[in-house]
Amino acid sequence: MAEAEHTAPIQMEVQLNRAELPLLDSAQMLYAMLDLRSKEALNISRRRLNLALVIDRSTSMRGARIRNVKMAAMDLLETLQPDDWLSIVSFSDRAEVVIPPTPVRERRSFSSAIASLLPRGGTEIYQGLLSGLTQVERHASPDYVNHVLLLTDGRTYGDEELALHATQQARKYGIGVSAFGIGEDWNDVFLDTLARKGGGVAQYISSPSQMREVLREEIQGLSKAVVKSMSLRIEPLAEVHLSAAFKAAPYMELFPCDEGDKTQEIALGGLTAEEPIVLILELVVDPQEKEKKLKMLHLQLEAEDVHLQQEIQIPISLSPEEREPPARLFNFLERISVFRLQEKAWIALESGDAKQATSYLQAAATHLFDMGYRDLAKSAMLEVGRMAKGRTPTGRGRKKLRYGTRSLSIPST
């Protein structure tokens, strides 16, 4: 089915839900599961880090939020190694470099700067992000994991496109971006897009006390990367279309597929030895006229010193071999289907179709309940109840569902 080449620290395995496709006079759906795993054992030497911590210090951060951000920043210093580099940028309406890139061993200069952060002003993410990217770039080198960690609790207005563009540009220089939303008021769609373009993660911090753990975990993930930043090129061949691409693990994420351009480039971030990355591709195959071997996809995975290529084929047959879809693929699809329903609900709601949104969310709740995820099902029904009464869903409910359903497939290590 597939030909892999090169000896790389990564292996890419592809599984389809069918062994053969029936010969049909209409278009049909097929699913592919891509497993990206590290071949290396667990004892990989730690990567050195070159990070910028970009902290929102707008007025809304007053109180427990800024206190916890400061504690998390201090804790970060403990988690980092002496030869890691860190810079700290704070932003409100404008950005301020609190500490330029400095080796972490010079702890004392960090402590007083962190303590001096005062919440004041609005939220303009682009200013802060750009300054963070600039600081990382000053010390950027292939020997380091170069990454920006953005912490915010608010919405930015009018500068989203600039921020996304800057993130995309930075990827070309090997600088990644992760985003952490605190509380309920931040724009989840924007931070998700930002992190996706930055090859990082977007995470929901529902209580200030989670902040330390979340950052610590992120640092560990970055420093344990077997490969730093991967990008996957998916090229559907003639008679095949990519209708959707999802990351199923470590957490769910939808990659928007541009209609016009058939070939998709996906930024995948780093891969650790513990957590495989699983992608699910939804493919539409054109009507077929005769039995043959159909060349469907060409996959190309690029990372530092890694060039993997694979071509996926499937036989078209009048009497195709029937089999159950592999259980693992089936279960990812089941969870993705729920994740997708609730995503569709928010999109329908934004376009003003509350009835459709309610119906999607109700369907998601039913499946969550059926799968045994009662807490999430209850949250969904709570929002369905509000919408049925003509009220808008709560920010908390929406984030709980969006980030809760995407964690349904968190893999096990």
Among positions 299-338, residues that touch other proteins (CB under 8 A) are 318, 320, 322, 324-325, 327-328, 330-331, 333-334, 337-338
Return the residue of 23, 44, 71, 306 that touches other proteins, per CB under 8 A: 23
Residues 24-43 that bind other proteins (CB under 8 A): 24-31
Residues 157-176 that bind other proteins (CB under 8 A): none
Amino acid at 251: Y
- Contact status, residue 14 vs residue 314, Cβ threshold 8 Å: no
Minimal distance in Å, beta carbon 43 to other proteins?
15
Return the residue of 19, 93, 287, 307 that touches other proteins, per CB under 8 A: 287
Q: Return the residue matching tokens 């911090």.
A: 205
Q: Is 138 in the site for other proteins (CB under 8 A)?
A: no
171/212 with CB nearer other proteins: 212
158/318 with CB nearer other proteins: 318
Stretch that binds other proteins, among 16-24, 49-57, 79-87, 168-176 (CB under 8 A): 16-24
Q: Is 254 in the site for other proteins (CB under 8 A)?
A: no
Q: Is 56 in the site for other proteins (CB under 8 A)?
A: no
Q: Is 88 in the site for other proteins (CB under 8 A)?
A: no
| Size of the residue set binding other proteins (CB under 8 A) | 80
Residues 193-252 that bind other proteins (CB under 8 A): 203-204, 206-208, 210, 213-218, 250-251
CB-count exposure of residue 189 (10 Å: 0-12, 13-18, 19+): middle
CA distances for 130 relative to 53, 189, 262, 403, angstroms: 12, 20, 31, 26
- Contact status, residue 341 vs residue 330, Cβ threshold 8 Å: no
Query: How far apart (Å, rounded) are the C-alpha atoms in residues 259 and 33?
Result: 21
Minimal distance in Å, beta carbon 137 to other proteins?
27
CA distances for 230 relative to 100, 148, 156, 266, 300, angstroms: 28, 17, 29, 8, 10
Residues 96-115 that bind other proteins (CB under 8 A): none
How many CB atoms are closer than 10 A to CB 352?
8
Q: Residue 74 half-sphere exposure, CB side, CA atoms within 13 Å?
A: 14
